[in-house]
Structure 1
Amino acid sequence: MTRDAAQMVILRDAAGEFTLDAEFLAGHFDWPVEALRNYMRRGMVASTVERGEGEDEGRWRLSVRCGNRRWQAIVNETGAILSEQIEIVPLQAGGG
């Protein structure tokens, strides 16, 4: 990534859940925003949030997958991105 991840922050909603803006995510996948929104409407975008334990306490791993692309970021309690990556991953059975 050419962006400085240390300066980026993922916001949290009133319930404390991390929220990703469609423009932010589409930019990371190098897609137009409408393409990502179309994939979302079709149920083709999946996300997970994993809370760190032990030495990773206070950090979360956020993952968003669409087709064969996955964006992952490690964030701290304030939502500051500590690291991030985009990967091409094998398609799962059923194409998703």
Structure 2
Amino acid sequence: MRFDRNARGEWLVDPNELARKLGITAQLLKTETALRLVQTHVVMGRGPDEGLSRVRVRYRESIWQGVFDCNGFLINECRLSPDSLPEDPVH
């Protein structure tokens, strides 16, 4: 899985890959995104985590989190429950 930026600097990810991570179809991801039921949060690493990005995607009660390196490659991922969201640095 890759995490890239478009010409406007917006973050992009393949919707088919993201849908698989969330356990839904790409079409459902598109529909639910249009309904604003998919929330994305991106944190850029600082200090010892510089060059890393943590991406958290929440869909209803499902949360997927991935850490990407400076080249946009996924290096770590996990599923989270809404009541266990950490606010720790990017690792």
TM-score by shorter chain over 0.5: yes
1:30 maps to what in 2?
23
2:3 maps to what in 1?
10
Aligned equivalents of 1:16 and 1:37: distance in 2? Answer: 21
1:50 maps to what in 2?
43
Within the candidate set 62, 65, 77, 2:70 is matched to 77
- TM superposition shift of 1:70: 1.0
Between 1 and 2, higher relative CO (CA 8 Å, sep ≥ 6) is seen in 1
In the alignment, structure 1 residue 19 sits paired with structure 2 residue 12: yes
Count of aligned positions: 83
Instruction: Tell me which amino acid in the other structure corresponds to 1:85.
Output: C
Structure-1-length-normalised TM-score: 0.76
Aligned to 2:48, what secondary structure does the other structure show?
A: helix
CA 1:61–1:9: 2 relative to 1, 3 Å? same
Please give the root-mean-square deviation of Cα atoms over the aligned residues, in Å. 1.5
2:79 maps to what in 1?
86
Question: Larger radius of gyration, structure 1 or 2?
Answer: 1
List runs of 5+ in structure 1 lacking aligned partners: 1-7, 91-96
In the alignment, structure 1 residue 62 sits paired with structure 2 residue 55: yes
List runs of 5+ in structure 2 lacking aligned partners: 84-91
Aligned equivalents of 2:63 and 2:18: distance in 1? Answer: 10
Aligned equivalents of 1:38 and 1:22: distance in 2? Answer: 12
